[in-house]
Structure 1
Amino acid sequence: MDEFDQRSWWTPTLDDAAWALPADLRAADPLNGRDCGWGNQMRPFVRHFSRPGEQVLDPFCGFGSTLPAAALEGRNAHRMEIDPARAQLARTRLQQHAAVAQVVVGSLADTAPVAPIDLCLNNVPYFGCRWRGDVLPGQLYASDDYASYLTGMRAVFHALRKRMRPDGVGVAMVHNVLVGGRVIPQAWDVGQSFLPCARSGCCATSALQQGWRTQAPRAIAVTNMR
């Protein structure tokens, strides 16, 4: 029994100060590291939705926060990052913590992970972040409009389904955003990409199994990737 079995809500704890993003890496990032995730946010999901020795993938690696969470729980972590400069920042950060990790440069829509995945766990890229890095094909931060962003997100999740084990689980962490004074319901729209989509044929799964909402509001879309 773990945190998710005991109650219907959960609040993440702050990371240990040792895992804070170093100032030099933050300064070198196009977004100044403001989208860096927490390891303690990831660990309960690793424990609940995978078993020791299984394969955990973060297709939006960023600064590599999922890796230590997976490693501390005895899982094998795989990371992908579409931006080469950010991939190098992740490698540098992980090396500083003596973590052995390969960060594959590319998008899951075009590049397959090295092993079938048991758990996909990620913080998604956010729309409207004013990306200042290289604008590469498939870079969701650089989407011209919200419709293009959602199309790109569905393409990643569609590719994910093909690369997961039959009983694999996908977890996407996302909250609604304020862009130009307008609330963008990104949490709910990304969650919808896990639902059946006969019209476009590009959604990631056949059923949204569970969802949580906290005061953020933050949505955790969790699904069997079948």
Structure 2
Amino acid sequence: MKRVLNMSADQLAAERPGGAGFVDVHFTRAFVREIVEQYSSAGDVVLDPFAGYGTTLLVSQELGRTPIGVELLPERTALIRERLGPSARVVEGDARELDRFEIRPVDLCLTSPPYMTAVDHPQNPMTAYATLDGDYSTYLEDLVKVFLAVKRCLREGGHLVVNAANLRTGEVVTPLAWDIARVLLPHFASAARSICSGIACPTS
């Protein structure tokens, strides 16, 4: 895979579905294409447990893969189904309950989890920011649980790629990308290269 993939704010803005804010879309179609082509083959199953607006699923489908998505918000689930067509599998549900959804063996998981800063962030990302019980350490623990469930879905030799960014709140930097890598790597020691290659780490 390329060591550097350039993504500009203009590219993200141009690809943003109607109603999506800047913080809702974290990577471009070109980024997804690079990962999917590198880490899967035609016919493989690609999972996104935080499907958002469906970019991973849409590009995967265009590349001849079988996309499976999980999305908490019903309006986004409906939008993804509209973008992909009736044959695509998109589950409306909580990624923390992934084991319940009987996901078929997966070749690649490519996702960008909902972001959270370590300060001034009472909204809980895992409830689509709908509740005020946000806690950064609990959030990281929840991500570990989600990705351990993903691990149980992966075929032997499958890949997990996580896209994340470090965040700035005033003068405080939340090293979100590093923190996600730190909590996941002990559970994915044999797959460390795949995880690290997928963590995007610009401070914004």
1:133-148 superposed matches below 5 A: 138-139=126-127, 141=129, 144-148=134-138
CA change 1:182–1:63 in 2 (3 A) is same
| Pick aligned residue for 1:120 from 109, 118, 136 | 109
1:74-153 superposed matches below 5 A: 74-92=64-82, 94=83, 100-110=87-97, 111-128=100-117, 138-139=126-127, 141=129, 144-153=134-143
Letter aligned with residue 206 of structure 1: A
More strand by share: 1
1:150-185 alpha-carbon deviations (Å, 9 max, x no partner): 011111011111111111100000010123541111
Q: How far does residue 15 in structure 1 lie from its aligned partner after superposition?
A: 6.8
CA–CA distance in structure 1, aligned partners of residues 13 and 64 of structure 2 = 19
Letter aligned with residue 6 of structure 2: T
1:167-222 alpha-carbon deviations (Å, 9 max, x no partner): 110000001012354111100011123212xxxxxx4x23312534767259xxxx
**Gaps spanning 5+ residues in structure 1: where?**
27-31, 197-202, 219-226
More helix by share: 2
1:6-32 alpha-carbon deviations (Å, 9 max, x no partner): x53332473795x5412xx33xxxxx3
| Pick aligned residue for 1:46 from 30, 36, 52 | 36
CA–CA distance in structure 1, aligned partners of residues 201 and 180 of structure 2 = 18
Q: CA RMSD in A?
A: 3.0
Tell me whether 1:185 sits opposite 2:175 in the alignment: yes
1:74-126 alpha-carbon deviations (Å, 9 max, x no partner): 1111110122233223334x16xx67533201233313353110000011210
Number of residue pairs matched? Answer: 192
- Aligned with 2:163: secondary structure? strand
Question: When the two structures are superposed, what TM-score results if normalisation uses the length of structure 1?
Answer: 0.72
**Gaps spanning 5+ residues in structure 2: where?**
none
CA–CA distance in structure 2, aligned partners of residues 215 and 147 of structure 1 = 19
Q: Residue 6 of structure 2 corresponds to which residue in structure 1?
A: 11
Question: When the two structures are superposed, what TM-score results if normalisation uses the length of structure 2?
Answer: 0.79
CA–CA distance in structure 2, aligned partners of residues 42 and 84 of structure 1 = 23
Q: Percent identity?
A: 28
| Pick aligned residue for 2:163 from 156, 159, 173 | 173
